[in-house]
Amino acid sequence: MKNQPVVITEPAALAALKEIYENNGPGYLEWDFSTPGQVTAGDGRLEAREGALTRLNLNRAKLKGTLKLGGVETLAVLTADENGFGGIDLEGLPGLRELTLRDNRISDVQSLAKLSGLTGLFLRGNQVRDIGPLAKLSGLTRLGLGDNELISDLKPLAGLTALEELHVGGNQIVDLAPLARLTALRELDVQRNHISDFGPLAGLKNLKVLSYRGNCRPPGEEIKACAMTGRAKPILEEKKAGFNPALVNTDTDLAKLTERVLNCRFTAFSLCLFGAPGTGKSEYARHLAGRMGLEVLHKRGSDLFSMWLGESEKKIAAAFEEARTDKKFLIFDEADSFLHDRALAVRSWEVTQVNEMLTWMESHPYPFACTTNLMDRLDQASLRRFTFKVKYDYLTLDQARLAFRHFFGLDYEIKLEALTPGDFTLAARKAAILGLSEPAELAELLAQEQEAKGVKSAGIGFIS
């Protein structure tokens, strides 16, 4: 395989890459290679030898000025979040498929028009006003332009008919008419704009998730009207919890854990994610699988248990075998149901099920995760087999405020101490059905979710 040099013409960028390599070995530089590769940096060049550079992560690398990078045909994923550069000059990257440049100072996106192979582009938290150049990126399926605050005209997006996911919340948008032709859209976030007419969305038959809080009025009447004409009615749901690192409270830095996992080639590891329901355990496992480029194989207790003797053990073995054969990321929910403490077992099959799990956990060559709300019920031998054990707790008060903004598009500080992202998801769904939008009403829905867990609300407070 030919050497693939990455030509760095910005001194600060080269210095940052050298520092990352010196401190972390291969670190944030990832290859697709069959034999170990080498990296050399110097004289304005960074070279990946004995392999092809496919992913480059420059998050928080303190890059300023203009990000200039090019000369590598195999680079598929480039990420440079939270730096501070305002310019971008990306040449000679024909294989680039995903570009993430969130929370910088980018205002001009003209150079991105040359990246015709992009399928994912994420520019949240920059200073973009004119998105005209993006009209040439016809292959985009995912586009994130949230919180640029200056975008008002969506006309350049009218021809991006492959778009399935679009985030433009936190801007100056009034007119949604340019989106009427984007019939492939499945998820749309237009929160915190100035929209009063949602009628143009009526014909988007594939739309499953619409996040609309913080606009001039909700989209109720337009959607009802389109349903009466016999056209498909979009399903209006608030933003699902998914994985958002700002909305998880864990004893482990998940962002760092994710980067470390991505930067090493060791795949035989496991995670035990434990804590209260709704805190985001399964969501993180799915997120990690996605970042690793692995398909998820998801199993619950109901998928594995059988009334026939020995059949549960066969299903457990089959799950691990499928994950190994197809190189999938295996996720077991409700792990306490099939890894329960053998010291408390009453029947012989309760022991043999755990033994089967332990045997496979010991030798499985690919990543897998177990989630549980009942950590104290797990067999002690299983705990020793987990590479990482991560505890999830309720959101802090600061995180609850962020969650209120994330799910409802409103800046309010809510004083409830036992909330989870799952509570916000459920409250958002209730609010959408009941037509509630006032902060006091939304806070009351959250208080009900907290009290349903047996935690009394000392009082609901929120301030603008």
Give the CATH number of the domain where residue 137 resides: 3.80.10.10
Looking at residue 53, its pLDDT comes to 65
Looking at residue 233, its pLDDT comes to 35
Last residue of a domain, one of 177, 209, 237: 237
Q: Which stretch of 111-125, 212-226, 269-283 has the lowest confidence by average pLDDT?
A: 212-226
Residues 270 and 148 in one domain: no
Q: What is the mean pLDDT of residues 173-194?
A: 92
Residues 272 and 381 in one domain: yes
- 142 part of a folded domain: yes
Residues 52 and 157 in one domain: no
In whole angstroms, give the CA distance from residue 52 to residue 31: 5
Looking at residue 456, its pLDDT comes to 66
Kindly report the CA angle at 409 between 407 and 410, in degrees rounded to 5? Answer: 110
Q: What is the mean pLDDT of residues 77-103?
A: 87
Portion of the chain with pLDDT greater than 70, in percent: 75
Higher pLDDT, 109 or 63: 109
Last residue of a domain, one of 378, 393, 408: 393
Query: Taking 50 as the threshold, does the pLDDT of residue 352 lie above it?
Result: yes
Residues 324 and 207 in one domain: no
In whole angstroms, give the CA distance from residue 82 to residue 169: 19
- 246 part of a folded domain: no
Residues 69 and 16 in one domain: yes
389 pLDDT band, cuts 50/70/90, is very high
In whole angstroms, give the CA distance from residue 139 to residue 236: 26
For residue 277, which amino acid is it?
Answer: P
**For the chain, what is the domain count?**
4
Residues 371 and 408 in one domain: no
Assigned token pair, 284: 């993180």
In whole angstroms, give the CA distance from residue 156 to residue 181: 12
Question: Is residue 8 helix, strand or coil?
Answer: strand
Strand partners, 79: 57, 100
Q: Which stretch of 94-98, 324-328, 337-341 has the lowest confidence by average pLDDT?
A: 337-341
Query: Taking 50 as the threshold, does the pLDDT of residue 42 lie above it?
Result: no
Looking at residue 188, its pLDDT comes to 92
The range of the structural domain enclosing residue 408 comes to 397-452
In whole angstroms, give the CA distance from residue 350 to residue 345: 6
In whole angstroms, give the CA distance from residue 98 to residue 141: 10
For the ranges 86-90, 92-96, 108-112, the one whose mean pLDDT is highest: 108-112
In whole angstroms, give the CA distance from residue 208 to residue 237: 7
In whole angstroms, give the CA distance from residue 326 to residue 309: 28
Higher pLDDT, 216 or 262: 262
- 99 part of a folded domain: no
Query: Taking 70 as the threshold, does the pLDDT of residue 197 lie above it?
Result: yes
C-alpha dist (Å) from residue 4 to 15, 48, 56, 102, 135: 19, 6, 13, 26, 30
First to last CA, the chain: 59
Q: Which stretch of 132-136, 276-280, 454-458 has the lowest confidence by average pLDDT?
A: 454-458
- For residue 357, what is the domain's CATH number? 3.40.50.300
Q: What is the CA radius of gyration of the chain?
A: 24
- 92 part of a folded domain: no
Residues 360 and 280 in one domain: yes
Looking at residue 71, its pLDDT comes to 66
Residues 386 and 422 in one domain: no
For the ranges 156-165, 187-196, 286-295, 374-383, the one whose mean pLDDT is highest: 156-165
Higher pLDDT, 408 or 418: 418
- 177 part of a folded domain: yes
Q: Which residues of 292-325 are buried (b: 16+ CB within 10 A; e: fewer)?
A: eebebbbbeeeebeeeeeeebbebbeebbeebbe
238 pLDDT band, cuts 50/70/90, is very low
In whole angstroms, give the CA distance from residue 268 to residue 365: 5
For residue 184, give the DSSP letter.
T
In whole angstroms, give the CA distance from residue 43 to residue 14: 9
Residues 232 and 117 in one domain: yes
In whole angstroms, give the CA distance from residue 283 to residue 8: 36
User: Which strands sit side by side in the sheet containing 45-49, from one edge to the other?
Assistant: 38-42, 45-49, 4-8, 66-70, 87-91
Q: Are 35 and 79 in contact (CB under 8 A)?
A: no
In whole angstroms, give the CA distance from residue 450 to residue 435: 21
Higher pLDDT, 276 or 19: 276
413 pLDDT band, cuts 50/70/90, is confident
Looking at residue 347, its pLDDT comes to 55
Query: Taking 80 as the threshold, does the pLDDT of residue 56 lie above it?
Result: no
Q: What is the mean pLDDT of residues 165-170?
A: 93
19 pLDDT band, cuts 50/70/90, is low
Residue (of 228, 335, 328, 323) closest to 273 by Cα position: 335
Q: What is the mean pLDDT of residues 382-401?
A: 92
Residues 268 and 233 in one domain: no
Assigned token pair, 357: 């799990």
Strand partners, 101: none
Higher pLDDT, 412 or 397: 397
- 460 part of a folded domain: no
Question: Is residue 252 helix, strand or coil?
Answer: coil
Residues 358 and 447 in one domain: no
Q: Are 254 and 285 in contact (CB under 8 A)?
A: no
398 pLDDT band, cuts 50/70/90, is very high
Residue (of 213, 211, 214) closest to 187 by Cα position: 211
pLDDT in tens, 248-274: 999 999 988 988 888 876 788 999 999
- 276 part of a folded domain: yes
Q: What is the mean pLDDT of residues 336-343?
A: 70
The number of beta carbons lying within 10 Å of the beta carbon of residue 246 is 11
Q: Which stretch of 1-15, 47-61, 122-136, 240-254 has the lowest confidence by average pLDDT?
A: 1-15
Kindly report the CA angle at 363 between 360 and 368, in degrees rounded to 5? Answer: 70
Residue (of 68, 75, 78) closest to 95 by Cα position: 75
Q: What is the mean pLDDT of residues 137-146?
A: 95
Assigned token pair, 112: 């991105």
Last residue of a domain, one of 179, 207, 237: 237
Looking at residue 203, its pLDDT comes to 87
User: In whole angstroms, what separates CA 207 from the centre of its chain?
Assistant: 19
Looking at residue 368, its pLDDT comes to 93
Q: What is the mean pLDDT of residues 362-390?
A: 88
- 324 part of a folded domain: yes
Query: Taking 70 as the threshold, does the pLDDT of residue 5 lie above it?
Result: no
Residues 13 and 120 in one domain: no
